[in-house]
Chains A and B, each alone.
Chain A
Amino acid sequence: MNEQEHRPRIVVINHQAANIHSVGKALERCGADVEITGSAAALSAADGAVLPGVGASDAAMRALEELGLVEPIREFVRSGRPLLSVCLGMQLLFPVSDEGQLPGLDLVGGRVVRFEFGKTDPGSPRLKVPHMGWNSIRFTAPDDERHPVFRGIPDGSYFYFVHSYHCVPSDASDVAAETEYGGPVCAAVVKGELIATQFHPEKSADLGLKIYANFVRHVAETAAARVA
């Protein structure tokens, strides 16, 4: 299909606590028709959506509740349309986080826990929290068995991470990619059309833009398939 003719409508969910602008700019660069909004109506009319996030989980959940977006996001996911969740957005998918008191969206089983590093050998540098910077990831599936959003990304590619908490899915098959930081850490989740990254593709240079380009193409294809 021709992306020029079918610009998919993608909503970036604006819960006031996110780096929404860079996400919007990355999607536009990849050919999407982007609306940054906190409107449930706009979400329900979208072909695909991105749940971005930086900051604290309680603030984000409170904002989603105040905007009346919690149930519409669940409904969007149930409808089978692609949702890409980034960083804090990925952590919000879980039922519970060590970081906050409020329950999460409960779309993926498991929990969100803080990095805890004990004392290491004297003289050796300890691991810093937040886990900040470029780290390499490896996928749990070979390229042709991955969700289309992650195809064409070589194992060992570096992406930009900034987080103090990390996700521990209860079902290991939900883990799409891992990175290494004091042990294996969940870097990406795929559950149906729920796609999530702990890293920031919008800050990960060309390979990050490739993920957005894959997502935009995938949204266009699923939208076309729904119409057909």
Chain B
Amino acid sequence: MLAHRIIPCLDIDRGRVVKGVSFVDLRDAGDPAELARFYNEAGADELVFLDITASSDDRDTMVDVVRRVSSEVFIPLTVGGGLRSIDDIRRMLEAGADKISLNTAAINRPELIREAAAEFGSQCIVLAIDAKRVDGPAGVASEGERNLAAESPWRVFTHGGRNATALDAVKWAGYGAELGAGEILITSMDTDGQKTGYDLELLRAISDAVPIPVIASGGAGNLDHMYDALHEGRSDAVLAASIFHFGEYTVSEAKQYLSDRGLPVRPPAVGRTRTP
């Protein structure tokens, strides 16, 4: 039976792992390769590396990080942040990333999703969406014939939740899937960093709207929250950062908990074979 995935997310700034609370107050939590090895041992099903390096001069650092990690850790690795072109994507895939995530670049030019999927296959294109509840007039958003203006409560945001677009998050997810994205990574900017649980309504709306897998992100504070995101929110996978990085729970504990509550997960490393 297909297992729900647990995915630690590592925010990376100039080659070092950091994680902010609501994207402010960054705290250093270590070396990417070290953490990747640690999470692999702990039974993480995939890893997401989000490059939050501000300067494009430092982008090469991320390529090195990906190359180093993928030589040592043999689980799927998704890399996002600052990827704008087919060439950017190719560089990450050649360095050893299995998937790349697109966010702002896809909003600016949705055709990038189609082009990237045609070039590399849908399986390696993740559409990352930052969504936030907004009251008030929806504005206008369209792509060709397609009306993407907000109808649901959730609007797509860019720049870590600072800039609103007129895009409806649920419609944007659906459109992204049609263009060829293989997976949706949905982050609630309302719950991110709050540790009060994922936005279950948002997760459910997105999961019901797209035929591709959905990764829930933003708000994990305890293991109940993960259960809810997978069960009630109907997500296929949960992403979490700080609760793992600061040792509040291990990936193994999370899996045990979900398994005890009847959800299929890949068992944490038991009876593991020696790495050759």
Residues of A in contact with B (beta carbons under 8 Å apart): 17, 19, 21-22, 25-26, 29-31, 54-56, 125-126, 128-136, 152, 154, 158, 160, 162-164, 180-181, 202-210, 212-213
Q: How far is the CB of A153 from chain B (nearest CB, A)?
A: 9
The 10 closest A-B pairs by CB, nearest first: A55-B121, A213-B276, A158-B266, A134-B266, A162-B123, A134-B3, A135-B2, A30-B276, A128-B213, A132-B213
Bound CA–CA A26/B96 (angstroms)? 12
Residues of B in contact with A (beta carbons under 8 Å apart): 1-5, 40, 45, 70-71, 74-76, 93-96, 98, 120-124, 182-183, 207, 211-213, 234, 236-237, 266-267, 269, 271-276
Can you spell out 8 A-B residue pairs with CB atoms less than 8 angstroms apart?
A19-B98, A134-B45, A135-B1, A154-B271, A158-B266, A162-B123, A210-B273, A210-B276
Known: A21-B96, A154-B271. 18 other contacts (CB 8 A): A17-B121, A21-B95, A22-B70, A26-B74, A30-B276, A131-B2, A132-B183, A133-B5, A133-B213, A134-B2, A134-B5, A158-B267, A162-B123, A163-B123, A164-B123, A205-B75, A209-B275, A210-B273
Q: How far is the CB of A58 from chain B (nearest CB, A)?
A: 12
Q: How far is the CB of A161 from chain B (nearest CB, A)?
A: 8
Bound CA–CA A207/B96 (angstroms)? 20
Bound CA–CA A162/B236 (angstroms)? 14
- Residue pairs across A and B with CB atoms within 8 Å: the count is 109
What residue in chain B is nearest A182 (Cβ atoms)? Answer: B2
B3 touches A129 (CB 8 A): no
B212 touches A130 (CB 8 A): yes
A25 touches B236 (CB 8 A): no
A54 touches B276 (CB 8 A): no
Q: Which residues of A contact B275 (CB under 8 A)?
A: 206, 209
Q: How far is the CB of B204 from chain A (nearest CB, A)?
A: 10
Bound CA–CA A210/B74 (angstroms)? 11
Q: How far is the CB of B14 from chain A (nearest CB, A)?
A: 24
Bound CA–CA A52/B211 (angstroms)? 26
Interface centre among A26, A54, A133, A135 (most CB of B within 10 A): A133
Bound CA–CA A181/B3 (angstroms)? 11
Q: Which residues of A contact B4 (CB under 8 A)?
A: 133
Bound CA–CA A135/B213 (angstroms)? 14
Q: Which of A19, A132, A152, A154 is close to B182, meaning CB atoms less than 8 Å apart?
A: A132
Q: Which residues of A contact B236 (CB under 8 A)?
A: 128, 132-133
Q: Which residues of B contact A30 (CB under 8 A)?
A: 276
